[in-house]
A and B are shown apart, each in its own frame.
Chain A
Amino acid sequence: MAITKAVQKRERFKLGFFISCILVAFLGLMAMPRISVPLLMGYVIYLIIYPAVPTLEKLGINQTGAIWIVFSSMIFFSTYPFVKIVPTVTAEVENVQYYLPKIERYVTTKYNELRREVKERTSFEIGDKYFFQALDWVRTKSGGLLLNIPKFLASLLEWVFFIPLIVFFLLKDGKSFKRGILKLTPNSIFERFYFLSHQFNKKLGDYIFAKFVEASIVGITITSGLLILNVRFALLFGLIAAITNIIPYVGPIVGFVPALLFALAEYGSGTTLGAIIVLYLVANAIDIAIVFPILVSKVVDLHPLTVVVSVILGSQWLGMIGMVISIPVAAALKLIAQEVYKEIYQE
C-alpha cells in the first residue's frame, strides 16, 4: 500500500496547489480593479454574445468565421450608439447643471413653506442645519460628478480598446482556457468542480442576459414615454432608469427620484407630473409583472435580504459592475455552500 500513500500525498498536494491558484487569482482581481473591471465587463459581454456562436456554427459556418461574424457585428452595433449617444448624453449632462440651481431653489422654497406651516400649526421650529448640509452635499456631489465626466471618458477610452480585445480572445480561446483549468483540476474534485463551475457560468450568463433585456425594456419604455410627453432630458432619464434598474428593489426608486425632482421644478404639480409618475409606474409594473417573472426569477432563488446584502457588498468592491454580478455570484456561492454542507453533514 506504499504506492497508494504516495498517490494520496500527491493528490493532496495537487488539491492544495489548485485551491491556492484560485485564491491567488481571486485576490489578484480584487486588488487590481483597473484590470479586473474591464476584464469582468469583457466577460459579461462575452456571456451575452457567446450564444450566437454555436447558432451560427449550426448554420454551417466554421468556428473562426462564426467568431469573426459575432465579434464584428458586436463592434458594428455598439459603435453607432457610442458615437451617437455618448455626445448627446454628455451634452445633456452638461445642460443639467443649468437646471440644478432651479431645482435647488424649488426644493428650498418648498422646505421653507413646510417649515412655516409646521411652525404655525405646532409652534415647533425645524432646524435648518441638516437640510442645508444635505443640500450642500448634493451640490458638491453633483458638481463633482460633472467634473468627473472627463476622467470617466478617459477610462471609457481605455475600455473601448481593452474590452473588445478581451471579448475577442474569450470568444477565440475561451474553450482551450477552460480545458487548461480543467486539466489542472485534481481528480478528487474534478467532477464536482466541473459541474459546479458549469452551473455557475450558466447561471451568470442567464442572469446577465435577462438583466440586459430587462434594463433595455425599461429604458426604452421610459425614454419613448418621456419623448412622447415632450419632457426635457428624456434620453438621460431613460438611461438612468435602465442602469438603476439593474439594482434590485431600490434601483427603480433611485432611478425615479431625479426625474421626479426635475418634473416638480420644471412643470410644477400639474398634468405633466402626473403623466410622468404614471409612466414610471407602468414601466415598473411591466417589469415586475411580466419581464421579471419570465426572465430573472428562474435564475435566482435567493432571500430578499441576501439579495440586498450581496448588492451592497458588490457595489463596495467593484462599484457598478459589482452590483450587476453580485446576485449571480451570491446564487453560485449558495450552490457551493449547499454542496459543502452535503459533503460535511451527510456522511
Chain B
Amino acid sequence: MSYEKEINQRIEEKKVLPEKLEISVLRYFWQSNPVLGKKRDSIPRFLRKLEVFSNFSENEQRILAKYFHLRRFGAGETIFKQGDLGVGFYLIYSGYADIIIDSSDSSTSNSDESKHIITLEKSDYFGELALLQEMSLRNASAISRQGCELLGIFKPDVEELINQYPVIAAKLLQSVSLIVANRLFSLTKEVEELKYKITSLEKDSDGHN
C-alpha cells in the first residue's frame, strides 16, 4: 500500500495521523545551511539586489552573472586613468572607489590640480559610457580606496552576449541606456540652471553699469 493510500485510509478511519512536515521550518533550516551561506553573496544574488537590473528575470540574472568579471584592486590602486581608452562598465561588489578628475588645463589658475568628485560604495556603478561609445575615452580616473572588488562587463562580453542571448543583451543595454539617460537628464537640468544663473548675473552686471 502506498503512503498516500495509507494516509487516506487513516483519515477515513479517523485514526491519528503521523506528524506533519513543516515546510516553512524545513526551508528555514535549508537556508541557514552554512554551506549555502557562502552562496548568499554570489554574483547573481548581488545583481538581484540592484535597482538597475530589476527588469531581469532570475534566470536572466544568473546568465548575465556569468559574463561579469570579478576584479580585485589593492588600496590606492588605479582602476582606470582619465583619458584612457575604456571598454568596461563596473559595479562595486565590495569596498569603495574614488572618482577623480584631473583638471590639468592651463587655463585654470592652479594647473595639475586633482579634484575629488565622489566616493562610490557597494552597489554603485561607473564607466557605463564605455559600453555604448565607440573608442570611448575615460573622462575621470577611478581609484580603489582601501581595496575593493569590482564586477566588470566589457565590450567583448556584450558582443558575445548579443550573439548568444540577444534578449539579455537588449535588457542590459536598456539598463545602461537608462543610467545614461538619467545622467543626461540631470545634466540638462544643471545646464539650464547654470544658464539661468549666467543670464541673471549678466543682467545684474548690466544694471550696475
Contact = CB atoms under 8 A, between A and B. Distances in A.
B37 interface: no
Interface residues of B, number: 23
A3 B76 contact: yes
Given A54-B163, A182-B69, A191 B154 contact: yes
Interface in B49-90: 69, 71, 73-80, 84-88
A187 B85 contact: no
Given A3-B76, A11-B74, A191 B86 contact: yes
Contact of A188 (B78, B87, B156, B159): B78
Contacts of A58: 164, 166
A214 to B, nearest CB: 24
A4 interface: yes
Contacts of B78: 187-188
Nearest to A188: B78
Contacts of B159: 198
A257 to B, nearest CB: 43
A125 interface: no
A7 B163 contact: no
Interface residues of A, number: 21
B81 to A, nearest CB: 9
A166 to B, nearest CB: 22
Nearest to B74: A7
Given A57-B164, A195-B156, A187 B77 contact: yes
Chain B, interface SS category: mixed
Contacts of A192: 85
Interface in A304-343: none
A298 interface: no
Contact of A198 (B74, B76, B156): B156
Given A182-B69, A187-B71, A190-B71, A195 B85 contact: yes
A191 B76 contact: no
Contacts of A54: 160, 163-164
Contacts of B69: 179, 182
Interface string B148-180: 000000111001100110100000000000000
Contacts of A198: 155-156, 159
B75 A195 contact: no
A152 interface: no
A194 interface: yes
A3 B80 contact: no
Contacts of A32: none
Contact of B74 (A10, A57, A190): A10
Interface string A2-24: 01101110110000000000000
A228 interface: no
A1 interface: yes
Contacts of A1: 76
Contacts of B154: 191, 194-195
A52 B75 CA distance: 44
Given A58-B164, A191-B154, A4 B88 contact: no
A347 to B, nearest CB: 9
A179 B86 CA distance: 20
A51 to B, nearest CB: 8
A182 B69 CA distance: 9
A7 B77 contact: yes
A4 B85 contact: no
Nearest to B127: A191
B87 A191 contact: yes
A204 to B, nearest CB: 14
A54 B159 CA distance: 12
A194 B74 contact: no
Given A191-B85, A198-B156, A7 B75 contact: yes
Given A4-B77, A7-B77, A187-B77, 10 more contacts: A6-B74, A7-B75, A11-B77, A54-B160, A58-B166, A182-B69, A187-B78, A192-B85, A195-B87, A198-B159
5 contacts: A7-B74, A187-B77, A191-B80, A191-B88, A194-B87
Interface of B: 69, 71, 73-80, 84-88, 154-156, 159-160, 163-164, 166
Interface of A: 1, 3-4, 6-8, 10-11, 54, 57-58, 179, 182, 187-188, 190-192, 194-195, 198
6 closest Cβ pairs, A-B complex: A7-B74, A4-B76, A198-B156, A3-B75, A54-B164, A195-B87
